[in-house]
């Protein structure tokens, strides 16, 4: 099993969720996060004063999938979230040793 963490632009969230659902990948956790990388920040004007916004809003998806589904999931996220502009985000894939569904006690593949 693998955990896929994807940091994407907020306006792409619904498109990515729908595309993953079409691939029968439905379980995910979504968080609103802030961060910066090469995109850096930008300046904004507020009440006549200019200030720097360092951290930009992003959405973080966390999805645990079977090893066989990783490439399909990653490719779907890339195809759907990519705009070709700086700040499209990143995808991290890590190993998951164990998953337990709290309600039933099911483990690993049955718990995903």
* Residue 3: predicted pLDDT: 98
Cα separation, 74 vs 95, in Å, equals 14
pLDDT tens for residues 52-64?
667 788 999 999 9
pLDDT tens for residues 76-95?
999 999 999 888 999 999 99
* Residue 53: predicted pLDDT: 67
Best CA proximity match to 110, nearest among 102, 4, 101, 10:
101
Average pLDDT over residues 67-83: 96
Other residues' Cβ atoms within 10 Å of the Cβ of residue 74 = 17
* Residue 41: predicted pLDDT: 59
Instruction: List Cβ neighbours of 31 (8 Å cut-off, separation of 6 or more).
Output: 59, 60, 62
Q: What is the pTM of this model?
A: 0.83
CB of 2 closer than 8 Å to CB of 77 = no
């Amino acid at each position: 099993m693998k955990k896929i963490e994807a940091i994407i632009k907020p306006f792409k969230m619904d498109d990515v969720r729908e595309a993953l659902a079409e691939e029968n990948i439905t379980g995910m956790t979504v968080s609103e996060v802030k961060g910066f990388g090469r995109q850096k920040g930008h300046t904004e004007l507020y009440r006549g004063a200019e200030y720097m916004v360092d951290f930009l809003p992003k959405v973080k998806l966390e999805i645990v999938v079977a090893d066989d589904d990783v490439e399909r999931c990653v490719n779907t996220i890339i195809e759907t979230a990519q705009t070709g502009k700086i700040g499209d985000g990143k995808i991290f894939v890590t190993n998951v040793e164990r998953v337990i569904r709290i309600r039933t006690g099911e483990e690993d593949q049955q718990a995903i």
